[in-house]
Structure 1
């Protein structure tokens, strides 16, 4: 015989209810004892998340600074290239003006020499 006493339905129901209540009490006790560790773990997770967010913000800030530095360097290079191009154009224009001035001066000198020869010829004939 497995059970020495006769289990009636009401006995089985009360035993099941007692077992259920014991399980519920054990769960509540375990939950209450685990509460400090749960809070500590939760605080640790929050700290880890905050640190992760701070590192991400720092990476973003560094990237932004690098982009700004690259943009400034590019603008500086472009300004230097434009200044060099402007200087080259001005030098070409100055050389062209100098050449034109020399051509005009040479032509004036030739004209003066021709006029002098003409005047000398006129003076000899008269």
Structure 2
């Protein structure tokens, strides 16, 4: 009958370290070499793609800024036009009020002149009697 011997802590630790080393060696074997032409080609492609992406983003940002500036200009133009229209409307209203006052004054003067003419005619009739 064989006696089962349990592994101690040191043995388990050493086995885990050996397993990690073996895993690391396999991973290192699968890594591409830095002077590998395929690796360099892929790296160049990635760099070109990143630069193209950065250029596209810069173009989008520029277009967005231009659009915002254009909208701000249009908004300012609309506001200036609205202010100009309000000013013209206020001027027209003031002119209309002034015209109305001048017509009222003219009507009043006309009524006064007619009243004075009637008064003078009455005086003239009374003086003939």
Gaps of 5+ in 2: 1-32
Q: TM-score, normalised by structure 1?
A: 0.73
Structure with greater helix percent: 1
Partner of 1:80: 82
Q: TM-score, normalised by structure 2?
A: 0.72
Partner of 1:50: 52
Partner of 1:40: 42
Gaps of 5+ in 1: 1-29
Greater RCO structure (CA 8 Å; 6+ sep) = 2
Q: Please, what is the CA RMSD of the aligned residues?
A: 1.4
Partner of 2:112: 110
Secondary structure, aligned partner of 1:66: helix
CA offsets, 1:41-65, max 9 Å, x none? Answer: 0111000000000000000011011
How many aligned positions are there? 96
Partner of 2:98: 96
Question: C-alpha separation between the residues in 1 aligned to 2:81 and 2:126?
Answer: 67
CA offsets, 1:54-100, max 9 Å, x none? Answer: 00000001101101111111111011000000000000000111111
